[in-house]
Amino acid sequence: MTSLFDDLRSNREMRHSMSSISKRTRIAGAAVLAALTLGLTACAPPGESNGAAAPAEDGEGLGTIRVGALPTPAGDILEFVQDNLAEEAGLSIEFVPFTDYNTPNTSLDEGSTDANLFQNATFLDTFNEASGSDLVSVGEIYLPTGAYYSNKVEDLADLPDGASIAVPNDPTNEGRALKILAAEGLITTTDEPTTLGDITDNPSGFEFIEIENASLPQAVADSDAAFVTLTFALPAGLTSEEAILIEGEDSSYYNILATTPELESDPRIVALKELLLSEETQQFINDTWGGLVVPAAG
């Protein structure tokens, strides 16, 4: 790790040789100078971000932003933006793939990524409370609808007494699954359920099975019904035709673009949000998933 004075001396040398270095080096030098001007005194290991970066001089671009996400649908959306919209905005998006809900926020909190796109605001709040972190949302981007699937019945109302129901084991999505059942009048819960302990009445004696999100598609065959979020339903080949109940567009579980407080106003974050909410991206979402993914209003 270099000292602040080493950084200053290095930056001063870069400015003196600006005319002979490449465009990419000029952008990097401007970013270092901007970070130092803002008074950042810590440095991060290679590949990590430790503060907001100003756009490069002379409109040469905003640089690269590393965004953590699950491959579908967030990864698909990020790749569309990178391939079709980012260059004109002077932005380069590096998609960092994850396969679970547990590590993207930790990666962001540690500085390995600059933002992530995989969770709703409730999930973020739960993570912050449990970890003591202060990650922030910069806005809703899309709704990955959740749905109940079954190989045994064609409607939730047809579930027999004592039916086995598989639900996610994380507080946010478990509460989401329970709210849908409560809205259908099949159970009664507290106002904001997050665990099975928040069920206040279970007249049909349903047997609830808590399962990791990624394993829920396989639980469809092993239970009477299973709640599967879109992120894992699509790769498993589950479609709207197979769902016995799909979450409505009025859901409060829209996925958000999250980052750190230091990067909340970073020009790269601002530009990325605008591109994600653009008409072009909304059209891509609608054309690709036909209502199973609902874009947030721009």
Give pLDDT, residue 60: 65
Same domain for 151 and 242? Answer: yes
Strands 255-259 and 136-144: antiparallel
Same domain for 220 and 164? Answer: yes
* 126: pLDDT strictly greater than 70: yes
* 33: pLDDT strictly greater than 90: no
**241 domain-assigned:** yes
Three-state SS across 117-179? EEEEHHHHHHHHHHHCCCCEEEEEEEEECEEEECCCCCCHHHCCCCCEEEEECCHHHHHHHHH
* 270: pLDDT strictly greater than 90: yes
Q: Is 224 left (phi over 0), alpha (psi -120 to 50) or beta?
A: alpha
Same domain for 126 and 263? Answer: yes
Share the mean pLDDT of the chain. Answer: 83
Give pLDDT, residue 8: 31
Q: Which long-range contacts (CB under 8 A, 24 or more apart) does 121-129 make?
A: 121/254, 121/256, 122/172, 122/175, 122/252, 122/253, 123/170, 123/172, 123/173, 124/256, 124/258, 126/170, 126/171, 126/172, 126/194
Give pLDDT, residue 171: 85
More confident residue, 114 or 40: 114
**21 domain-assigned:** yes
Q: Lowest mean pLDDT of 54-58, 155-159, 246-250, name the range.
A: 54-58
Q: Which of 100, 101, 2 is nearest to 42 (CA)?
A: 2
In which band, very low, low, confident or very high, does the pLDDT at 169 lie, cut at 50, 70 and 90?
very high
Same domain for 150 and 139? Answer: no
* 249: pLDDT strictly greater than 80: yes
Range of the domain at 259: 58-143+254-295
Q: Is the pTM of this model over 0.75?
A: no
Q: Are 11 and 29 in contact (CB under 8 A)?
A: yes
Give pLDDT, residue 259: 98
Same domain for 102 and 186? Answer: no
Whole-angstrom distance, CA of residue 37 vs CA of residue 53: 11
* 44: pLDDT strictly greater than 90: no
Q: Lowest mean pLDDT of 19-28, 139-148, 153-162, name the range.
A: 19-28
Report the pLDDT averaged over residues 172-186. 93
**25 domain-assigned:** yes
Q: Are 198 and 175 in contact (CB under 8 A)?
A: yes
Whole-angstrom distance, CA of residue 284 vs CA of residue 141: 13
Same domain for 104 and 128? Answer: yes
Report the pLDDT averaged over residues 189-200. 96
SS3 state at 235: coil
Tokens, residue 224: 């009477």
The count of domains in the chain is 3
* 10: pLDDT strictly greater than 80: no
Output DSSP code: residue 37. H
Give backbone dihedrals phi and psi of 144, rounded to 5 degrees, phi first.
-90, 100
**225 domain-assigned:** yes
Give pLDDT, residue 18: 37
Give pLDDT, residue 242: 85
Neighbours of 55 (CB within 10 A): 21
SS3 state at 206: coil
Q: Lowest mean pLDDT of 159-168, 207-216, 283-292, name the range.
A: 283-292
Same domain for 158 and 216? Answer: yes
Q: pLDDT tens digit string along 195-245?
A: 999 999 999 999 999 999 999 999 999 999 999 998 889 889 998 788 999
Same domain for 164 and 209? Answer: yes
Tokens, residue 74: 């967030």
In which band, very low, low, confident or very high, does the pLDDT at 246 lie, cut at 50, 70 and 90?
confident
**53 domain-assigned:** no
Tokens, residue 147: 């749905």
**48 domain-assigned:** no
Kindly report the CATH number assigned to the domain that includes residue 265: 3.40.190.10
Same domain for 161 and 216? Answer: yes
Give the contacts of 74 (CB within 8 A, at least 6 positions apart).
117, 118, 231, 255
Q: Are 184 and 203 in contact (CB under 8 A)?
A: no
Q: Which of 41, 109, 97, 48 is nearest to 68 (CA)?
A: 97
Same domain for 235 and 181? Answer: yes
Same domain for 139 and 267? Answer: yes
Helix axes 76-84, 267-276, angle to 10 degrees: 100
